[in-house]
Amino acid sequence: MPSDPVRKLLAEAAQLPTEQRRELVDELAQTLPEQYDGDDVDLDYDALDRRMESVRNGTAVLVPWEEARKQLLGE
Protein backbone atom coordinates (compact mmCIF):
# COMPACT_ATOMS: atom_id res chain seq x y z
CA MET A 1 0.00 0.00 0.00
CA PRO A 2 1.48 3.37 -0.95
CA SER A 3 2.50 5.77 1.76
CA ASP A 4 0.47 8.95 2.26
CA PRO A 5 2.92 11.18 0.33
CA VAL A 6 2.95 8.74 -2.60
CA ARG A 7 -0.84 8.38 -2.54
CA LYS A 8 -1.20 12.19 -2.66
CA LEU A 9 1.23 12.47 -5.57
CA LEU A 10 -0.56 9.70 -7.45
CA ALA A 11 -3.89 11.45 -7.00
CA GLU A 12 -2.43 14.65 -8.41
CA ALA A 13 -0.64 12.84 -11.24
CA ALA A 14 -3.87 11.07 -12.23
CA GLN A 15 -5.35 14.48 -13.07
CA LEU A 16 -2.62 15.26 -15.61
CA PRO A 17 -3.23 14.83 -19.34
CA THR A 18 -1.94 11.57 -20.82
CA GLU A 19 1.19 13.06 -22.37
CA GLN A 20 2.22 14.71 -19.10
CA ARG A 21 1.68 11.41 -17.23
CA ARG A 22 3.93 9.68 -19.78
CA GLU A 23 6.55 12.37 -19.25
CA LEU A 24 6.29 11.91 -15.48
CA VAL A 25 6.72 8.14 -15.76
CA ASP A 26 9.76 8.57 -17.99
CA GLU A 27 11.33 11.13 -15.66
CA LEU A 28 10.71 8.97 -12.59
CA ALA A 29 12.11 5.91 -14.35
CA GLN A 30 15.34 7.83 -14.99
CA THR A 31 15.78 8.34 -11.24
CA LEU A 32 15.85 4.58 -10.56
CA PRO A 33 19.01 2.48 -10.49
CA GLU A 34 20.27 1.26 -13.86
CA GLN A 35 18.55 -2.13 -13.62
CA TYR A 36 15.27 -0.19 -13.89
CA ASP A 37 16.25 1.65 -17.06
CA GLY A 38 13.24 3.54 -18.45
CA ASP A 39 13.80 1.93 -21.86
CA ASP A 40 12.97 -1.45 -20.30
CA VAL A 41 9.64 -0.23 -18.96
CA ASP A 42 6.98 -1.54 -21.32
CA LEU A 43 3.75 0.16 -20.32
CA ASP A 44 0.50 -0.02 -22.23
CA TYR A 45 -0.51 3.61 -21.77
CA ASP A 46 -3.83 3.13 -23.53
CA ALA A 47 -4.79 0.34 -21.13
CA LEU A 48 -3.66 2.45 -18.18
CA ASP A 49 -5.73 5.38 -19.43
CA ARG A 50 -8.81 3.16 -19.82
CA ARG A 51 -8.39 1.72 -16.35
CA MET A 52 -7.89 5.12 -14.73
CA GLU A 53 -10.94 6.48 -16.52
CA SER A 54 -13.06 3.55 -15.34
CA VAL A 55 -12.01 4.28 -11.76
CA ARG A 56 -12.83 7.97 -12.19
CA ASN A 57 -16.26 7.36 -13.71
CA GLY A 58 -17.19 4.63 -11.24
CA THR A 59 -17.43 1.71 -13.67
CA ALA A 60 -14.35 -0.13 -12.37
CA VAL A 61 -14.80 -3.12 -10.12
CA LEU A 62 -12.50 -2.37 -7.21
CA VAL A 63 -11.08 -4.99 -4.89
CA PRO A 64 -10.29 -4.13 -1.27
CA TRP A 65 -6.55 -4.26 -0.53
CA GLU A 66 -6.96 -7.08 1.98
CA GLU A 67 -8.60 -9.29 -0.64
CA ALA A 68 -6.13 -8.32 -3.38
CA ARG A 69 -3.23 -9.07 -1.04
CA LYS A 70 -4.62 -12.53 -0.30
CA GLN A 71 -5.01 -13.19 -4.02
CA LEU A 72 -1.53 -11.95 -4.86
CA LEU A 73 0.31 -13.57 -1.97
CA GLY A 74 -1.80 -16.69 -1.70
CA GLU A 75 -2.59 -16.01 1.94
The model's pTM is: 0.43
Interior/surface letters 23-59, b for 16+ CB within 10 angstroms, e for the rest: eebeeeeeeeeeeeeeeeeeeeeeeeeeebeeeeeee
Distances (CA, A) of 9 to 2, 24, 44, 73: 10, 11, 21, 26
pLDDT digit of tens for each residue in the chain (75 aa)?
A: 678 888 899 889 999 999 999 999 888 888 877 665 555 556 788 888 888 899 899 999 888 989 988 888 887
